Amino acid sequence: MNEMQEKVKRFCIKHDLDHPVEHRLIDIMSELGEVAKDILVETDYGHRGIKDPKNLEEELGDLQYSIITLANALDIDLDFALEKVLEKYEDRIEKGGMGSG
């Protein structure tokens, strides 16, 4: 488990924030929605570039926190998961495509 995951784990233990996985998932969706809203506001619904990316910092941090809490609840090492994803994408790029899946 990486340092950030350990930090969030200690925080959750300290503040008794032990919620079910389903709640963690809802939290991720909620925070993702808040990021989307901020981007829409920042770009005037796509009519201009983002004026100040710093305005997205707080909501991206909320999203990151919520993803980490889900990974921690499932005992998933996000560093390991990211390495696997990058290997998967590398393989896809070498084969000529970057579709999702």
User: Where does this chain bind Mg ion (CB under 5 A)?
Assistant: 31, 34, 59, 62
Shortest Cβ distance from residue 55 to Mg ion (Å)? 13
Please say which residue, 5 or 31, places its beta carbon nearer to Mg ion: 31
Please say which residue, 1 or 60, places its beta carbon nearer to Mg ion: 60
Q: Distance between CA atoms of 71 and 57, rounded to whole angstroms?
A: 21
Tokens, residue 63: 């999203």
Helices 3-14 & 57-73, crossing angle to 10 degrees? 80
Please say which residue, 1 or 56, places its beta carbon nearer to Mg ion: 56
